[in-house]
């Protein structure tokens, strides 16, 4: 569980049906760029906007098209423990290699409730589990102490993705899970923190911007492994202009629009999360032109 794992986009036609052939194309595009996993229906895959039947079909396609070249991650987290177990078992049946389980959302949960939730899910499935912390979207934050407790107590909880945007939180995830008698991977869910995470002992990132510039995102990891931190910093900094465009709208919308503007027919996000102001679109086009001229791909 390392390097760059894209939460792959869910391509759609204008009528919002899933574009299955383009999904296959994007799987191959990511693998050809050197990614170390494909994450189906994560946040950038619009998991929040998909039906259960659509999720199952998407996972079937991703598993089939990946053909064991890299591990397949499936986002199986739901609001309740019972639903999360059901979705996790179904993902296991469909051939997922790893489960990414987001914290429950909408209703507030204590750390003890989160601990019990994840322990029940872990006990119910025979797959590795990555905890997913994104409190700005869910309203529930997994504390470093709870992550450490779960890492220690549940053999198949083997990693955590931190999308809090708080580097100290991510760093504590790393510090409190280092030295366990198992390999535990902390992954950055914030693309701007991939290099710092790697420097301090993290294993990589689940990177939405990899949908736009997969080779560039993989290069951050590769330069660190090669020992060239200065080059890794240059590559990490090169994606800042794209991320700066997130201020104009939903980041998922920006990522999907960017991929489309580069010539891939991935469509838009499902309504109502599918629009961008004229100012935002103008800026996005300018940034993408500059990025590609500078060699991002």
Band the pLDDT of 11: cuts 50, 70, 90: very high
The reply to whether 285 falls in a domain is no
The reply to whether 264 falls in a domain is no
Query: Percentage of residues in the chain with pLDDT exceeding 70?
Result: 100
The reply to whether 122 falls in a domain is yes
Reduced to 3 states, what is the DSSP secondary structure of residue 279?
A: helix
Instruction: Judge if the upstream peptide bond of residue 172 is cis by omega within 30 degrees of 0.
Output: no
For the cut 90, the answer to whether the pLDDT of residue 257 exceeds it is: yes
Give pLDDT tens digits for 159-200. Answer: 999 999 999 999 999 999 999 999 999 999 999 999 999 999
- The rounded distance, in Å, linking the Cα atoms of 295 and 289 is 10
Give the pLDDT score at 254: 97
The reply to whether 295 falls in a domain is no
For the cut 90, the answer to whether the pLDDT of residue 218 exceeds it is: yes
User: Taking residues 193-222, what's their average pLDDT?
Assistant: 98
Residues 6+ apart with CB under 8 A from 23: 8, 10, 11, 58, 61, 62, 65
Annotated catalytic residues are 132, 161
The reply to whether 273 falls in a domain is no
Angle among Cα 218, 7, 244 to the nearest 5 degrees reads 70
The reply to whether 249 falls in a domain is no
The reply to whether 155 falls in a domain is yes
User: Taking residues 113-130, what's their average pLDDT?
Assistant: 98
Instruction: Give the total residue count for the chain.
Output: 297
State the CATH number of the domain containing residue 164: 3.20.20.70
- The rounded distance, in Å, linking the Cα atoms of 194 and 141 is 20
Domains in the chain: how many in total? Answer: 1
The reply to whether 251 falls in a domain is no
Domain residue limits at 171:
3-235
Q: What is the mean pLDDT of the chain?
A: 97
Residues 6+ apart with CB under 8 A from 148: 173, 176, 177
Give the pLDDT score at 112: 98
User: Taking residues 48-57, what's their average pLDDT?
Assistant: 97
For the cut 90, the answer to whether the pLDDT of residue 252 exceeds it is: yes
For the cut 90, the answer to whether the pLDDT of residue 121 exceeds it is: yes
Q: Are 121 and 86 in contact (CB under 8 A)?
A: no
CA dihedral 197, 199, 201, 205 (to 10 degrees): 30
Give the pLDDT score at 1: 87
pTM of the model: 0.95
């Amino acid at each position: 569980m390392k390097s760059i794992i894209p939460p792959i986009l869910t391509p759609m036609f204008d009528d919002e049906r899933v574009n299955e052939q383009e999904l296959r194309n994007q799987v191959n595009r990511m693998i050809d760029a050197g990614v170390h996993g494909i994450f189906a229906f994560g946040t950038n895959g619009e998991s929040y906007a998909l039906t259960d039947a659509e999720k199952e079909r998407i996972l079937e396609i991703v598993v089939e098209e990946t053909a064991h070249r890299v591990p397949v991650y499936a986002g199986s987290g739901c609001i309740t423990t019972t639903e999360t177990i059901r979705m996790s078992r179904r993902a296991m049946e469909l051939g997922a290699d790893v489960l990414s389980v987001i914290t429950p959302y909408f209703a507030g949960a204590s750390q003890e409730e989160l601990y019990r939730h994840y322990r029940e899910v872990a006990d119910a499935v025979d797959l590795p589990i990555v905890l997913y912390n994104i409190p700005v979207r869910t309203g529930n934050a997994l504390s470093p102490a709870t992550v450490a407790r779960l890492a220690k107590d549940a053999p198949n909880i083997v990693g955590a993705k931190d999308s809090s945007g708080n580097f100290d939180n991510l760093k504590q995830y790393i510090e409190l899970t280092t030295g366990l008698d198992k390999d535990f991977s902390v992954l950055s869910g914030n693309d701007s923190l991939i290099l710092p995470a790697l420097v301090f002992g993290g294993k990589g990132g689940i990177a939405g911007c990899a949908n736009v510039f997969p080779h560039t995102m993989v290069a951050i990891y590769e330069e660190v492994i090669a020992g060239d931190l200065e080059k890794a910093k240059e590559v990490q900094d090169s994606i800042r202009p794209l991320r700066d465009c997130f201020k104009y709208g939903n980041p998922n919308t920006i990522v999907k629009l960017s991929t489309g503007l580069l010539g891939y027919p991935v469509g838009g996000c499902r309504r109502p999360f599918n629009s961008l102001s004229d100012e935002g679109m103008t800026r996005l086009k300018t940034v993408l032109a500059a990025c590609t001229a500078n060699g991002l791909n």
